[in-house]
């Protein structure tokens, strides 16, 4: 959807590489993944495309093919919009009680813009009135879907959505691992407005998709990782510790071990036949000893990689990376088309979200 919940169902994870389960191509094997698009009002928000440099459209930096697949890039603005608001009652937000749909947009507009202001001022310019106007326009479109009975409104999920989004807005340019750390809040955003379309059915916004009640599954338009079924409702699963997982060719590309975990395939790598089977286990701590497993650099978990035998913080945008070694980048993507450099991090706001009047790279 083109409203605030767009942050939660994202294409914000367009830069997130499926590092453990879900077909990581880390350290040999696998494909670079698809570029992705920032479908208008859809889960891609305004930045999901690989190498995208403008909000609202995916870039062409990603490539398709390869059996493992990762997401495209993460440059560009993640986009924001209007529907869930941010901030709880303890930090100047709205009351934690359930919010009636008729009050929803007006009650959350200033909350959103207040939360977005620091990030806007860091990246662009900020105009409170223009930010509020755009928010209300986007939010009205979501409310109209409820009136048309194509979606239903569930206020019980608003607070959790708010908490996750406020965290990400506060970070402003989150890393791929920080998105994964906020998976539960982002999933909650996909539960506020619930559609009717099931897995594999066509969609243009996240709110058209029927969510799963499984706490580890998030349904969105295109999938959080933007590598399969763009324009179709797709589930993404964040696997808890102990869950079965796979790494390598033909592994699912819409599953990933939760933050702080990796897919431990040590018991299966000697077989030499991908995908390797494993379970989600705690990742090796930073600066501790690590090794490649079956040629895959997964042991350090998302946000770190194994360098000279130690888990090392992933590289910032613009820093050099080895071709196909997406785990080396904080954004989750090493861009072959930019001389094997890491893509920049996703921006949580666009120029128009901030009330800017320009139409530059961050506009949406």
For the segment 296-353, what is each residue's pLDDT rounded down to a tens digit? 999 999 999 999 999 999 999 999 999 989 999 999 899 999 999 999 998 999 999 9
Q: In angstroms, rounded to a whole number, what is the distance separating the alpha carbons of residues 293 and 305?
A: 12
* Mean pLDDT in residue range 140-156: 95
The DSSP 8-state label assigned to residue 300 in this structure reads: T
Q: In angstroms, rounded to a whole number, what is the distance separating the alpha carbons of residues 322 and 331?
A: 14
Nearest residue to 222 via CA among 36, 32, 59, 16: 36
Q: Which residues pair with 261 in a beta bridge?
A: 282
Q: What pLDDT score does 308 carry?
A: 96
Q: What pLDDT score does 224 carry?
A: 66
Residue 345's domain comprises 1-364
Q: In angstroms, rounded to a whole number, what is the distance separating the alpha carbons of residues 55 and 57?
A: 6
Q: In angstroms, rounded to a whole number, what is the distance separating the alpha carbons of residues 310 and 154?
A: 46
Q: What pLDDT score does 257 carry?
A: 96
The model's confidence at residue 45, banded by pLDDT at 50, 70 and 90, is very low
Lowest mean pLDDT among 18-22, 104-108, 145-149, 353-357: 18-22
Long-range Cβ contact pairs of 231-237 (< 8 A, separation 24 or more): 231/39, 231/42, 231/202, 231/203, 231/204, 232/200, 232/201, 232/202, 232/203, 233/195, 233/197, 233/198, 233/199, 233/200, 233/201, 233/202, 233/203, 233/208, 233/209, 234/199, 234/200, 235/199
Q: What pLDDT score does 292 carry?
A: 93
For the segment 65-110, what is each residue's pLDDT rounded down to a tens digit? 333 333 333 334 444 333 444 444 334 444 446 899 999 999 989 8
Q: What pLDDT score does 225 carry?
A: 55
The model's confidence at residue 269, banded by pLDDT at 50, 70 and 90, is confident
**pLDDT over threshold 50, residue 159:** yes
**Cis before 212 (ω within 30):** no
For the segment 206-253, what is each residue's pLDDT rounded down to a tens digit? 899 999 999 999 998 887 655 445 689 998 899 999 999 999 888 887
* Mean pLDDT in residue range 8-23: 35
* Mean pLDDT in residue range 261-285: 92
Which residue bears the tokens 């990376």?
A: 321
**pLDDT over threshold 90, residue 44:** no
How high does pLDDT run on average in the chain?
A: 76
In this prediction, what percent of the chain has a pLDDT beyond 90?
Answer: 54
Q: What pLDDT score does 81 carry?
A: 39
Number of domains in the chain: 1
Q: What pLDDT score does 13 carry?
A: 35
In this prediction, what percent of the chain has a pLDDT beyond 70?
Answer: 69
Total-model pTM: 0.73
**pLDDT over threshold 70, residue 256:** yes
């Amino acid at each position: 959807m083109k409203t605030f919940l767009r942050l939660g169902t994202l294409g914000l994870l367009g830069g997130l590489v499926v590092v453990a389960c879900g077909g990581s191509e880390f350290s040999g094997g696998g494909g670079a993944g698809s570029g992705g698009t920032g479908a208008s009002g859809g889960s891609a928000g305004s930045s999901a495309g690989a190498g995208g440099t403008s909000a609202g459209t995916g870039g062409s930096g990603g490539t398709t093919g390869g059996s493992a697949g990762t997401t495209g890039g993460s440059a560009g603005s993640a986009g924001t919009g209007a529907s869930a608001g941010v901030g709880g009652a303890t930090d100047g937000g709205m009351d934690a009680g359930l919010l009636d749909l008729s009050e929803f947009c007006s009650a959350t507009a200033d909350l959103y813009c207040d939360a977005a202001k620091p990030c806007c001022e860091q990246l662009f310019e900020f105009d409170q009135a223009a930010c509020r106007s755009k928010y209300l326009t986007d939010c009205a479109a979501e409310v109209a879907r409820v009136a048309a009975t194509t979606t239903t409104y569930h206020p019980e999920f608003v607070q959790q959505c708010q908490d996750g989004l406020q965290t990400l807005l506060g970070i402003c340019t989150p890393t791929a691992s920080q998105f994964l750390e906020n998976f539960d809040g982002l999933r909650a955003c996909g539960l506020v407005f619930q559609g009717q379309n099931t897995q594999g059915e066509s969609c243009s916004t996240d709110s058209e998709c029927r969510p799963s009640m499984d706490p580890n599954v998030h349904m969105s338009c295109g999938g959080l990782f933007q590598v399969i079924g763009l324009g179709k409702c797709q589930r993404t699963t964040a696997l808890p510790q102990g869950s079965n997982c796979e790494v390598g060719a033909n592994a699912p590309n819409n599953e990933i071990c939760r933050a702080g975990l990796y897919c431990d395939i040590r018991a299966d790598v000697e077989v030499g036949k991908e995908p390797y089977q494993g379970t989600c286990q705690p990742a090796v701590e930073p600066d501790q000893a690590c090794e490649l497993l079956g040629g895959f650099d997964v042991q350090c978990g998302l946000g770190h990689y194994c360098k000279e035998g130690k888990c090392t913080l992933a590289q910032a945008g613009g820093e050099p990376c080895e071709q196909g070694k997406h785990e080396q980048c904080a954004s989750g993507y090493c861009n072959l088309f930019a001389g094997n450099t890491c893509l920049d991090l996703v921006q949580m706001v666009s120029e128009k979200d901030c009330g800017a009047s320009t139409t530059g790279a961050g506009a949406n």
